[in-house]
Structure 1
Amino acid sequence: MRLAEIFERVVGPDAPIRFTAYDGSTAGDPNSEVTLNVRTPVAVNYLAQSPNAVGLTRAYVSGHLELEGDMYTALRRMADFVFTEGVNVSARDVLEIVRSVGWVKFVNRVAPPPQEMRPATLLGRGMRHSKERDAEVIHHHYDVSNEFYEMVLGPSMTYTCAVFDEEDGSPDRVEAFDGALESAQFRKYDLVSRKLGLAEGMRLLDVGCGWGGMVRHAAREYGVKAVGVTLSKEQAEWGAKRIAQEGLTDLAEIRYMDYRDVPDGSFDRISSIGLTEHIGARNLDAYFASLNDKLVPGGRLLNHCITRPRNDLKPMNTKGVINRYVFPDGELEGPGQIQTAMNDAGFEIRHQENLREHYALTLRHWGANLERNWDEAVAEVGEGTARVWRLYMAGCVLGFERDVVQLHQILGAKLDGTDARMPLRPDF
């Protein structure tokens, strides 16, 4: 039996994509603008070892399986089809696959591509979310190449959700770079600044500061003395250089250190933008208690992070694609869990909002940047890593659009007796 026949047996004859294989067989919609091409038997090996998204990812990242056409469209088509029609692989299907590709090829294990973070690697780095292990997983994802990140993120070097207005927020404006992403990232940093009530002379701590976008914004636009901390050495070096270039060294600094090592009680405001995803559910209470300790009475915390749509969902799959290829040890909680942990740590919750649609738009811009700079990106980090990013960003667009994940900003105040030092109505 040829591979196309197996494909039709597994997914049915009406799949909304075109299927081609190295044995010359074809199936699916011949007029589809996206094609799934099984280029070599190694792709079948990967799928045999892991007949799920992990197997598909391994085959695609290693180049043995190709998705031709727009990645987002391909993933959306497959997601729609699987959701509405269902996919079932019977014992008979497996037997036919074995007969088609040969038993030896089918059972021969192929090592995952090098972009995959193997569980054994992390086990040697201590307990989950220990300082040493956190440093390793941050290095895995963020110390890829500053040049690569510039190609994808654009001039702002901001790797968190932007905030779009109605005009800039149209998906039709994503393909042509027109400054919409940069404007939206500025708008995000300014929204955080206004929620925190930043004012000249204040001291701001930005935990998980990345390349220093929030630190530079607070110093430049509000005259705040800002300190950022990151576990990525490459981020710290890039950020320090940019601070010097912008003439902000008197107000802004970035430290290559763990947020847990920052002294307590010396900051008026704290921003946590995209760090909570790396903390872990068991550590949320300690995390927010630590940030509360670092604030002066009357201080404020703005927590900005990816969340799950509900609090009662089963724990995330720690062996899935995102944990293996993108964010090892990453965990997402529901917004209620985040808010409760902040509240129990001593923060009065003053405001929260969901920016889910904004993150889908942000990811579209990043994906368009990657495609625009594809050849340069491959030359910088290799095709396998570039493929990881193409797949991951397109999949995340779909996730945010379909409410699989959300993005919440939650504002908390550390009470000074009975005074939260907040305006009677939000002024942001």
Structure 2
Amino acid sequence: MTLARVFERLAGAGAPVEFAAYDGSRAGVPGAGIRFDVRSPYAVSYLVHSPGALGLARAYVTGMIDVSGDMYTALSTMQQVLGEVGPRDKMKIVGAVARDPLLRGAISRRLDPPPQEAPFSRLPSWLRHSKRRDAKAISHHYDVSNTFYEWVLGPSMAYTCACYPSEHATLEEAQYHKFDLVARKLGLKPGMRLLDVGCGWGGMVMHAAKEYGVKALGVTLSKQQAEWAQKAIADRGLSDLAEVRHLDYRDVTETGFDAVSSIGLTEHIGKANLPGYFSFLYGKLKPHGRMLNHTITRPDNIAPAIKQDGFINRYVFPDGELEGPGYVQSQMNDAGFEIRHQENLREHYARTLRGWCRNLDEHWDEAVAEVGEGTARVWKVYMAGCVLGFEQNWIQLHQTLGVKTDEQGRSDMPLRPDWGV
């Protein structure tokens, strides 16, 4: 049986995609906007030996499967046509190709994962979140290439959910609005001190310094981020107010900050460490100081917080753990914060990711030359898949604002929110 016939058995003869295989067989709709090309029999080995979407991802990252057309549309279409490839489907594949000597030989060989897969992501969960391992996990994802990130993220170099002030706002406008929204929620004023943990390329630090006259310290575990941020701070004449250090947040010794921002770090902390994390940040604040936590969440706490064999854990965010918004808020509350505001920016993240997908497509050839085709492919499928995730409410993005009250219980918060939308 040809691979095209296998595809038809899984997806149906009228699947709205074009399928072509190295053996010359074809299926689906000729000339469809989405085309899948299987270029090697070893692609089938990945599909058989790797669970679910991980096998497809491995075959795509290695170039054994090619996708022509918009990646978001391809994933969305295949989600409708195939759904999740389960054990029974894998048995269909095995049974259908067993009579082909070439494919039978390919299936009998278990291939090593592509080099883009973080090897330590397969280690036992109890080894997560030591300082050394956290540094490895952050470096795996963020120390790719600052040039690559400049192409994907755009001038803002903001690798977190933007906040769109209007339907037609650009990505850059939305990132500026996000940083300004955080600043207004924190009540920043000239002369205040801000600690920004997991600061990335320093976007929040520089915004607070430039727009609010705040003395801002940012810390990141990514050496490349810290180097880029320090140069950008100097180039913009902000060195008297802004600083970014290559440092674990747990090693910050200063205290007495007026505000703390955590934009996109909580996902890397781990469930077991959240109480200590929020307690640490609480201890860094003066009374009346505010903390804004901006983090990806999941809709509930029923499913596991991390998929050990998932594509995201293996290739993108090793050791990342997502919790429900209520759980995150409870941990903040138990650490001492009085919760004053929370909102979900789920749709905003889908828009943000679409902007990053467009940027990558526009710089595809340069990106491949800079980081290699395998890494570029990881990013292409990861970001398109995340668009689906936020649109379909598999994942969310919550901002939660807390305040440290004084001994008399005073918060010094306004009677009504004064930070706008």
Task: Place the TM-score, normalised by the shorter chain, in its bin.
Answer: over 0.9
Contact 2:41/2:103 (8 A) holds in 1: no
Deviation at 1:160, TM superposition (A): 0.3
Q: Deviations over 1:290-332 (max 9, x none)?
A: 1001111111100001000113333331221000000000010
- CA–CA distance in structure 2, aligned partners of residues 311 and 245 of structure 1: 44
Contact 2:116/2:375 (8 A) holds in 1: yes
1:383 and 2:373 correspond? yes
**Equivalent in the alignment of 1:260:** 250
- CA–CA distance in structure 2, aligned partners of residues 250 and 21 of structure 1: 60
**Equivalent in the alignment of 2:115:** 114
Deviation at 1:93, TM superposition (A): 4.2
Counterpart residue type for residue 410 of structure 1 = T
Q: Equivalent of 1:341, from 331, 335, 341?
A: 331
Quick one: structure 1 residues 427 and 106, their matched pair in 2 at CA, closer, same or farther if it must change by over 3 Å?
same
Deviation at 1:88, TM superposition (A): 4.5
Written as runs of structure 1 = structure 2, the 5 A alignment for 1:383-422 is 383-416=373-406, 417-422=408-413
- CA–CA distance in structure 2, aligned partners of residues 30 and 139 of structure 1: 43
Deviation at 1:48, TM superposition (A): 1.9
Q: TM-score, normalised by structure 2?
A: 0.95
Contact 2:151/2:363 (8 A) holds in 1: yes
Written as runs of structure 1 = structure 2, the 5 A alignment for 1:25-424 is 25-83=25-83, 88-89=88-89, 91=91, 93-100=93-100, 101-119=102-120, 127-168=127-168, 180-263=170-253, 265-416=255-406, 417-424=408-415
Q: Deviations over 1:318-357 (max 9, x none)?
A: 2210000000000100000100000000000000000001
- CA–CA distance in structure 2, aligned partners of residues 264 and 130 of structure 1: 22
Structure 1: stretches of 5+ with no match in the other structure: 170-179
- CA–CA distance in structure 2, aligned partners of residues 81 and 59 of structure 1: 19
Counterpart residue type for residue 37 of structure 1 = D
- CA–CA distance in structure 2, aligned partners of residues 21 and 378 of structure 1: 24
Quick one: structure 1 residues 341 and 264, their matched pair in 2 at CA, closer, same or farther if it must change by over 3 Å?
farther
Contact 1:122/1:133 (8 A) holds in 2: no
Deviation at 1:181, TM superposition (A): 1.0
Q: Deviations over 1:193-242 (max 9, x none)?
A: 00000001110000000000000000000000000000000000000000
Deviation at 1:119, TM superposition (A): 3.6
Structure 2: stretches of 5+ with no match in the other structure: none
Quick one: percent identity of the two aligned structures?
Answer: 61
Contact 1:20/1:36 (8 A) holds in 2: yes
Quick one: structure 1 residues 93 and 370, their matched pair in 2 at CA, closer, same or farther if it must change by over 3 Å?
closer
Q: Deviations over 1:265-293 (max 9, x none)?
A: 32110000000000011111111011001
Deviation at 1:50, TM superposition (A): 1.3
Deviation at 1:251, TM superposition (A): 0.4
Contact 2:47/2:90 (8 A) holds in 1: no
Contact 2:44/2:103 (8 A) holds in 1: no
- CA–CA distance in structure 1, aligned partners of residues 356 and 399 of structure 2: 21
- CA–CA distance in structure 2, aligned partners of residues 392 and 370 of structure 1: 12
Contact 1:126/1:133 (8 A) holds in 2: no
Counterpart residue type for residue 203 of structure 2 = G
- CA–CA distance in structure 2, aligned partners of residues 224 and 214 of structure 1: 11
Deviation at 1:404, TM superposition (A): 0.6
Q: Number of matched residues?
A: 417
CA RMSD, 1 decimal:
1.9
Q: Deviations over 1:172-198 (max 9, x none)?
A: xxxxxxxx1111110000000000000
- CA–CA distance in structure 1, aligned partners of residues 90 and 144 of structure 2: 41
Q: TM-score, normalised by structure 1?
A: 0.94
Deviation at 1:27, TM superposition (A): 1.1
- CA–CA distance in structure 2, aligned partners of residues 62 and 305 of structure 1: 31
Quick one: structure 1 residues 288 and 314, their matched pair in 2 at CA, closer, same or farther if it must change by over 3 Å?
same
**Equivalent in the alignment of 1:14:** 14
Counterpart residue type for residue 78 of structure 1 = M
Give runs of ≥4 in structure 1 deviating > 6 Å: 84-87
Quick one: structure 1 residues 209 and 91, their matched pair in 2 at CA, closer, same or farther if it must change by over 3 Å?
closer
- CA–CA distance in structure 2, aligned partners of residues 182 and 84 of structure 1: 35
Contact 2:21/2:39 (8 A) holds in 1: yes
- CA–CA distance in structure 2, aligned partners of residues 91 and 58 of structure 1: 19
